[in-house]
């Protein structure tokens, strides 16, 4: 059974919402990035969305772009991100990892090799921001592996298209809560309630909201109708704000993560 | 016509398509259907032709460059004078088409990216003409090297936003414009400046630019009673080249030559020669060739000319190259600069640094060609905007 499915099943049994964070692989550096993954999973994060930096991240705002640029400057590579996951998996075999990235990286690496290596290194989900539903057949061979290809729905995806996209959804449906890029606007719960409910009426997999969820309060509002949330830019900013004091950084992050579990 | 690309999904062979975040997909689909409807509407095309003729001043001349021809002593060179269009370049052709489409779609806010500023100026111009709010993204470095155009855009009422990311050039301006589009899709039309991006842009911009090649066909038949042996155009994203190439694709005896920017040389790291040095990838909404590293990270390109300083190329050029229907070559900064001077001195025409790359190719090859070889060079823009860049290189204080 896919680790994502298992995690969601357990949460459901306990009547809990999923809490996830986005981390940029290799930010602020390879070692700290590995420590941050463990810090997150040790502080109640149910699954990790791990970003592979791209030189021109069109869906990301300034904060995540900055983290990506720093990661790339410090040598982030697809291979290194795979190593990072492998190393994390040496001690953590239970927290699902979703690889988040842009299609050009995968296309360039070679789709078949890439998927095979995701699988052998312990990745459980794949989220490709700029690969629309119509082009997902390019990743068809993902079906050979125990990896869920995560579909994205935006606030402007209409009903008909939403139904089509979620029809065979695996893992979870990623609901993009804002019309925009990461870290720029705050999600408006009133506007998205209907959309999430519509998605839920068309699929059995959980609906997880991301983009514009910057604190625990916002997450709680969204969780009234979503099955969980992902926080990205706010966490990356916390890392960046404390970049010169690792101890302080970890302390602040721990505090931040704990607020979501209350 | 035999050549019939793109297919209904926007593919030119294996190139093109729609690659964008889900938030953009509905807006792109809306654009696809609006375009499919407009391109067959007589009213739409009549209105567009009205503005081409009365506002831009079309048709542009096909001018026999007699002194240049005699100086080179080979092929007979004609210049397609897109530099004489209102706003000084071919960009106005697709700006008029797209603003009419935006109006038809009920959009009220126009965004655009620009490199050299020619597309930005043309966009700001049509926005003034049709009373639309206009926001133009331009890399900080490009604003600096194309100061006159930056000022013109502001004068025309556009909001010029300097892009400070990455190489601070055209690539980053495109990304910034796409991000704006994602964030304001309800009222905003993205007026893209080349034959690139997701479908339907490559097809739509090509259609609006094809008027250049259609005119050449008619004009050269009148002047020479036959089609040209070769057509030369510079290529960044590829809009002026596709415009002049497309009506000739089925005429196999006319050689089509695209000239990329070799910057400091294609064997250095400082160039923008995508077809010479790039590999297949997916970026800015399309599958095409891009200059990128082994991990698929886009490499910042370089050219003296801001309009060619782009790490990708329109998908149709990728197809034309791979099927060998068009040939692509590269001209470096100093060759382009020499051509800039040569055309100014011999013909009294100051070409844009972009177009200077095409002129340089003519200068390089025409002497080796027979005198009955007819070569048409697309003079895509005028060089007034470049005098500061050239002045700086030559140590002239302006």
DSSP A171-226: S-EEEE-SSS-TTSS---HHHHHHHHHHHHTT-SS-EEEESS--SHHHHHHHHTTS
CB contacts under 8 A, B 276-335 vs A, are 279-284, 287, 290, 292, 294-299
Answer yes or no: do A55 and B294 touch at CB < 8 A: no
CB contacts under 8 A, A 139-158 vs B, are 152-158
Q: Residue B378's beta-bridge partner residues?
A: B80
Contact at 8 Å (CB) between B174 and B114? no
Answer yes or no: do B27 and A156 touch at CB < 8 A: yes
Token pair for residue B370?
């027979």
For residue A233, the surrounding DSSP H or E stretch is helix A233-241
Q: How high is the pLDDT of residue B2? A: 85
Count of CB pairs separated by less than 8 Å, A with B: 112
Q: Is B203 a catalytic residue?
A: no
Total domains in the fold of chain A: 1
**What is the separation of C-alpha B233 from the centre of its chain, rounded to a whole number of angstroms?**
9
Q: How confident is the model at residue A180 (pLDDT cuts 50, 70, 90)?
A: confident
Residue A176 has its nearest CB partner, among B22, B165, B299, at: B22
Q: Could you tell me what percent of chain B has a pLDDT over 70? A: 100
CB of B165 less than 8 A from some CB of A: yes
Q: How high is the pLDDT of residue B126? A: 98
Q: How confident is the model at residue B147 (pLDDT cuts 50, 70, 90)?
A: confident
User: What CA–CA distance (Å, rounded) separates B120 from B134?
Assistant: 10
Predicted confidence (pLDDT) per residue in B115-136, tens digit: 989 999 999 999 999 999 999 9
Q: How high is the pLDDT of residue B116? A: 87
Q: How high is the pLDDT of residue A147? A: 98
Q: B200 preceded by cis ω (within 30°)?
A: yes
CB of A186 less than 8 A from some CB of B: no
Residue B21 has its nearest CB partner, among A55, A56, A129, at: A129
pLDDT at residue A53 is higher than 90: yes
Q: Which CATH number belongs to the domain containing residue A214 in this structure?
A: 3.20.20.70
Q: How high is the pLDDT of residue A13? A: 97
Predicted confidence (pLDDT) per residue in B332-354, tens digit: 999 999 999 999 999 999 999 99
Answer yes or no: do A108 and B175 touch at CB < 8 A: no
Q: How far is A232 from chain B (nearest CA, A)?
A: 17
Token pair for residue A89?
């998996």
User: What CA–CA distance (Å, rounded) separates A234 from A228?
Assistant: 16
Predicted confidence (pLDDT) per residue in A140-163, tens digit: 999 999 999 999 999 999 999 999
Chain A residues with beta carbon closer than 8 angstroms to that of B287? 107
Q: Which of A173-187, B178-192, B284-298 has the highest mean pLDDT?
A: B284-298
Predicted confidence (pLDDT) per residue in B290-307, tens digit: 999 999 999 989 999 989
* ipTM value: 0.95
Chain B residues with beta carbon closer than 8 angstroms to that of A101? none
Answer yes or no: do B296 and A109 touch at CB < 8 A: yes
CB of B90 less than 8 A from some CB of A: no
Question: Can you tell me the mean pLDDT for B132-143?
Answer: 96
Token pair for residue B325?
């229907």
CB of A177 less than 8 A from some CB of B: no
Q: How confident is the model at residue A262 (pLDDT cuts 50, 70, 90)?
A: low
Q: How high is the pLDDT of residue A179? A: 87
Q: How high is the pLDDT of residue B1? A: 63
Question: Can you tell me the mean pLDDT for B310-329?
Answer: 97
Q: How confident is the model at residue B398 (pLDDT cuts 50, 70, 90)?
A: confident
Contact at 8 Å (CB) between A259 and A216? yes
CB of A66 less than 8 A from some CB of B: no
pLDDT at residue B397 is higher than 90: no
List, by residue number, the catalytic residues of A.
49, 60
pLDDT at residue A191 is higher than 80: no
Q: How confident is the model at residue A228 (pLDDT cuts 50, 70, 90)?
A: very high
For residue B328, the surrounding DSSP H or E stretch is strand B326-332
Give the domain extent around A193: 3-261
Predicted confidence (pLDDT) per residue in A11-28, tens digit: 999 999 999 999 999 999
Size of chain A, expressed as the number of residues it contains: 262
Please tell me which residue in B76, B80, B91, B217 is annotated as part of the active site: B91
For residue B297, the surrounding DSSP H or E stretch is none
Q: How high is the pLDDT of residue A261? A: 81
For residue A6, the surrounding DSSP H or E stretch is helix A3-13
Q: What is the rounded average pLDDT for all residues in chain A? A: 96
Q: How high is the pLDDT of residue B96? A: 98
| Domains along the sequence of chain B with CATH | 25-52+91-205 (3.40.50.1100), 59-88+211-393 (3.40.50.1100)
Among A3, A37, A33, A7, CA closest to A21: A37
Chain A residues with beta carbon closer than 8 angstroms to that of B295? 77-78, 105, 108-109
Q: How confident is the model at residue A257 (pLDDT cuts 50, 70, 90)?
A: very high
Answer yes or no: do A54 and B165 touch at CB < 8 A: no
Q: How high is the pLDDT of residue A155? A: 92
């Amino acid at each position: 059974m896919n680790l994502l499915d298992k995690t969601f099943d357990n949460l459901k049994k306990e009547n809990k919402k999923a809490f996830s964070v986005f981390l940029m692989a290799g930010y602020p550096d390879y070692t700290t990035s590995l420590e941050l993954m463990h810090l997150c999973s040790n502080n109640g994060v149910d699954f990790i969305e791990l970003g592979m930096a791209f030189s021109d991240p069109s869906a990301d705002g300034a904060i995540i772009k900055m983290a990506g640029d720093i990661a790339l400057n410090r040598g982030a590579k697809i291979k290194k991100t795979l190593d990072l996951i492998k190393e994390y998996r040496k001690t953590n075999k239970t927290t699902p990892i979703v690889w988040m990235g842009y299609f050009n990286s995968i296309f360039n690496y070679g789709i078949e090799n890439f998927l095979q290596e995701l699988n052998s290194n312990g990745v459980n989900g794949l989220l490709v921001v700029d690969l629309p539903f119509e082009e997902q057949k390019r990743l068809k061979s993902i079906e050979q592996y125990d990896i869920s290809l995560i579909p994205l729905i935006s606030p402007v995806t209409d009903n008909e298209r939403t139904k089509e996209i979620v029809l065979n959804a695996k893992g979870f449906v990623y609901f993009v809560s804002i019309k925009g890029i990461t870290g720029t606007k705050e999600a408006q719960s009133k506007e998205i309630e209907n959309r999430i409910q519509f998605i839920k009426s068309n699929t059995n997999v959980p609906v997880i909201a991301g983009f514009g969820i910057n604190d625990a309060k916002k997450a709680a509002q969204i969780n009234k109708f979503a099955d969980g949330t992902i926080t990205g830019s706010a966490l990356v900013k916390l890392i960046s704000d404390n970049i010169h004091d690792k101890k302080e950084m970890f302390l602040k992050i721990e505090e931040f993560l704990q607020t979501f579990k209350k | 016509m035999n050549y019939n690309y793109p297919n209904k999904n926007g593919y030119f062979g294996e190139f093109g398509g729609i690659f964008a975040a889900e938030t953009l997909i509905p807006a792109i689909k809306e654009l696809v259907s609006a375009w499919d409807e407009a391109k067959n509407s007589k009213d739409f095309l009549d209105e567009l032709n009205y503005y081409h003729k009365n506002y831009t001043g079309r048709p542009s001349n096909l001018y026999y460059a007699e002194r240049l021809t005699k100086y080179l002593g080979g092929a007979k060179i004609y210049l397609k004078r897109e530099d004489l269009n209102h706003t000084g370049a071919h960009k106005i052709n697709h700006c008029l088409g797209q603003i009419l489409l935006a109006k038809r779609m009920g959009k009220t806010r126009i965004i655009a990216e620009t490199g050299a500023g020619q597309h930005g100026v043309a966009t700001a111009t049509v926005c003034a003409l049709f009373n639309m709010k206009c926001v133009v993204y331009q890399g900080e470095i490009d604003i600096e090297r194309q100061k006159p155009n930056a000022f013109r855009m502001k004068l025309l009422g556009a909001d010029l936003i300097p892009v400070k990311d990455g190489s601070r050039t055209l690539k980053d301006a495109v990304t910034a414009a796409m991000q704006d589009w994602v964030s304001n899709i309800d009222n905003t039309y993205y007026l893209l400046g080349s034959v690139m991006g997701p479908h339907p842009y490559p097809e739509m911009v090509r259609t609006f630019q094809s008027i250049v090649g259609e005119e050449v066909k008619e004009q050269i038949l009148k002047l020479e009673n036959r089609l040209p042996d070769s057509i030369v155009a510079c290529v960044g994203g590829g809009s002026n080249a596709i415009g002049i190439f497309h009506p000739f694709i089925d005429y196999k005896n006319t050689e089509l030559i695209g000239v990329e920017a070799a910057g400091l040389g294609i064997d250095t790291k400082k160039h923008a020669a995508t077809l010479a040095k790039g590999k297949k990838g997916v970026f800015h909404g399309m599958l095409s060739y891009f200059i990128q590293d082994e991990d698929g990270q886009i490499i910042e390109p370089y050219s003296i000319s801001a309009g060619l300083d782009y790490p990708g190329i329109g998908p149709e050029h990728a197809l034309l190259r791979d099927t060998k229907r068009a040939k692509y070559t590269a001209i470096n900064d100093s060759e382009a600069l020499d051509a800039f001077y040569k055309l100014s001195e011999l013909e009294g025409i100051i070409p844009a640094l972009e177009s200077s790359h095409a002129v340089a190719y003519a200068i390089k090859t025409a002497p080796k060609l027979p005198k009955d070889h007819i070569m048409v060079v697309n003079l895509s823009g005028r060089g007034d905007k470049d005098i500061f860049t050239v002045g700086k290189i030559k140590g002239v204080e302006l």
